[in-house]
Structure 1
Amino acid sequence: MFVDRVKIEVRAGRGGNGAVSFRREKYIPKGGPNGGDGGKGGDVIIEADEKVRTLVDLYNHPHQRAQNGESGQGSNKTGKSGKDLIIKVPLGTIVEDIDSSIILEDLTKNEQKITAVGGGQGGQGNFRFKSSIRRGPKFAQKGEPGEEKKLYLSLKIIADVGLVGYPNVGKSTLLSRISSAKPKIADYPFTTVNPNLGVVRVDETKSFIVADIPGLIEGAHQGIGLGDKFLKHIERTQIILHLIDGSTIKKEDPLHDFTVINKELSNFSEKLAQKFQIIAINKCDLSSAKENLNYLKEAFGEKGYKVYPISALTREGIDTLVYALSSLLDKLKLKEEEKVDQVLPEKEVVYKFTPRFIISKKENIYEVTGAEIERIVAMTDFNNEEATENFQKIIKKINLEKVLIKKGIQEGDQVKIKGMFFTFSNK
C-alpha cells in the first residue's frame, strides 16, 4: 500500500514530578530536604530515512507518544529522562502544523530531522526550594506536560527524472530496462497504480534516480483517471522524460498525446510546464512506429525538441537516452552550483521582543497567556498549601499582579491561566 499523505497526532513525554523527601540518618534528628528533580519528558523527532519508502506505518498508527520522565527520588536522585521517540519518514516528507498551517520542515536529506514537539521539563524537588527562611519545604514541582501537535506529513518523491506519458506507452518496461526496479507490467490501462523509483547506473561513479509517475490522462489535474494524486511527485524532478508510443500516433496530429500531458502538467503547476523535457519515442521495433518516426521528428523539431527513438522491449536506443539524461543533469547541476556560489547581500537582522505574558479581558475574566506563566501554572501543585504560597510569590516577582491592577482588575474578579481560574485578591 502506497501512502503519501497522513494526519498524525504527536505528544511529547511529560516531565517527571519532583520529590518531597527529607534526610533520615542516624544521629541526625532534623535532616534537611533532599528530594530530587524529575526527569525530562522525551521529545518526538521526525527523521528522514532513505530506506523508508512510504508513510503507511503512520497511516496505521497515527497517534505517536514519547516516553514520560520518571519522578525524582530521595537523596537528591534525579528521575530518569523519558526516551525520545524517533519517527522515520521517507526523503521528501513535508511536515506541516495543522493548527497554524505552517510548514515546519521539508526533509529532503538522509538523517535530516526536526523536533516536532518537545518533552516537558522535570519538576524541581523540594531540595531546590530550601532557603534561609524556608528550611524545610514540604512541596515540589509537578512535571511539565509535553507539547502536543496535530501534523500533516506529505510525501513528494525526490527523483532526478520524472517519467511521464499516457497509460501503456511502456513507462514501466523502460524503467525496468534502465534500472533494477521491478514494476508490475501488463497490457491494460493503469497497470501502475503507485509511483515506482529506479536508480540508473551510468558508470561506476555516476547514477541518477527516475520516478515512473502513473495516471496521466486528459483531466488528470481534476481527478480523472488516477487523477492528480501523483502529479506532486514530479515537482522536485529536474527533468521530465516524456515517453510516447510511436506506434499509435495520428499523422494529422502527431503531438496530441504530448500536448495533452503537458497541459495537465501546466494546469497542476506552472513550474512543471517549465521543466526541461526530453522526448523518447517508444516501440520503435514495430513497423508502424518506424513509419511514424519521421512525422514525429519533424513535428518535435519545429518545437525545438530532439527526439530519441527507443524500444524498451529490445533495448534499442536505451544507452543513448541514458547518456543524454545524464549529460543534461550534469549541466543543470553546474548551473545550480553557480547560483549557490553567487554572493548574496546580507539580510538585515531584526530582533523581536517577546513579552513575558499577555493579558486580555473577555467579559469579566482576565486571561493571561505566555509560555513562562503557563509553565509555572502547569508545574504547581495547588493541592499543596506551601506550593500555592510559592506560586503567589512568583506572581508578584514577575509583576503580574501590578499589571493586572493597571488593567483595572478588581477584588473578586476571575483570572484565567492555562485553563485554570483564580480569584483575584489584593490582600
Structure 2
Amino acid sequence: MQYKETARMTAEPSSAMEQVLQGIRVLDLTQNVAGPFCTQILGDMGAEVIKIERTGSGDDTRAWQPPSWGARSSTFLALNRNKKSLAVDLDTPQGVDIVKALARDADVLVHSLKPGSAESRGLGDEALRALNPALVYCAISAFGQQGPLRAQPGYDPLMQAYTGIMSVTGSEGDPPARVSVSLIDMGTGMWAAMGILAALLRVKLTGKGTTVSASLLETGVGWMSILIANYRASGVLPRRMGTAMAMTAPYELFQAADGAVFIAAGNDRLFQKVCVALDLEALPRDERYASNAVRVRNRQALHETIEQRTLALGAADIARRLQRQGAPCSVLNNVQQMLESEQVAAVGIMQELDIQDGDGHQVVGLPFTLDGQRRTRHDAPPELGQHTRALLDAAGYPAASVDDLIARGVIR
C-alpha cells in the first residue's frame, strides 16, 4: 500500500500501538456511539482521524450531559479521543466538495448516514472510489443495507429488543431488561474496525478499495449465536434466568453474608473444587449433582444448597477459598470497586487524558496490548471545528476561500 504523505497532520508514534496505522488517514462521518467507537479504535492505533461534524451542534453526544467532566459530555469524551474536528454542512454543495477533496487523499471513509443518504449527496462508495480507487469505504447502519427496514433509524436498546437480547435479560418472572452497557453499539464499532483492518490488508495486496458494511442488527444477531444454536437444537425458546446460564450449573451469582459472589463451575472437575472450597465435599457424590447434565436439571435445589453455605460467609472469604482451589469466581463489584481493584490497576487499561477543562480525567484504553504495550499518549477529544482551518489549509484551500465558507455557514 502506498500511504499518502501529503497534508498529513501526524505526530511521531510513542508506542508500538501507534505504529500499526501510522500514515493512514480516516474520514469519520459518524456520530453517537457505534461509529465514533470504531474510529477511536483506529485513532488509538495511530491513524489520523478527521471527525467531520455538523456546523451547528456537532456530534449528538456533545449534548449528552449530564454527566459531564468540566463543560464536556463524559460520553463524548469516552468515544472521541485522538481525532481532529472539521465542521461542515453536508447539505450544501460546497460542503460535499470539501469531503470529496479530502477523500481523494484518504485511506478510509466511515459514515453512519442512513442507507441511500450518502449516495444522494454524491458520497457513495462508487462515486468516491472514482476519485480514489484504493479507498476503504465503511457504512454503519441500524438495520443493514438491504431489506424493508434498511432506512429506519435505530439505537442500542431498540436493537436489544429487536434481536431478542432483551427477551433473555433479567430474572425469571420479571419484565425484560436492557443490558446497561452499549454492547450492540460498541460491538458494531468493533466489527466495523475489524472489517476496515481486513480491507486495508486487501488494499495492500491488490491495490483495490473495498466496501465494508456493519449494522446494529447484525451485531445483535451475532451476540445471540449460542442462544440461537441452542434454540435450533432444542426448539425451546431461551428464557430469562437472572445470572444463571442454561447449559451448566452452578454458573451464577450466590448471596453471601455481606454481598454476592459469582461461581462458575464449567465442568465436573471445577464443581468438585467448588465443593471442597465450601466444605461441601459430599455434593459430587449425590446422584442429583454427579454430572453437569443432572446438575442443570436440579439447578434450583443445588443453588439453595450452595447458598445456604455462602450466606454464612463473607464474600471476600468465599472468593479466597475458591481461588485457593482454582475454582473460577468473582465477588460482585460495583463500578467504583472495579476501578479501585488491584487487578484493574495492574493491567493498566485506565489511562490519563489531558483535557483543558478538567484535571485527572481517565479513559479506558484499548482492551489489548502489543508487545505488552498500550498507547502511552492520547490527544483530547476536539472542540467542534477545532481543526477546520488547518485541515483545509493543508488541503490547498486559500485563506480567503475558507473565510468565505465560514461566513456563509458552510464550515465552522
Pick the TM interval, shorter chain.
under 0.3
Tell me the TM-score normalised to structure 2 length.
Answer: 0.25
Q: Which has the higher helix share?
A: 2
Q: Which has the higher strand share?
A: 1
Greater RCO, CA 8 A, separation 6+:
2
Larger radius of gyration: 1
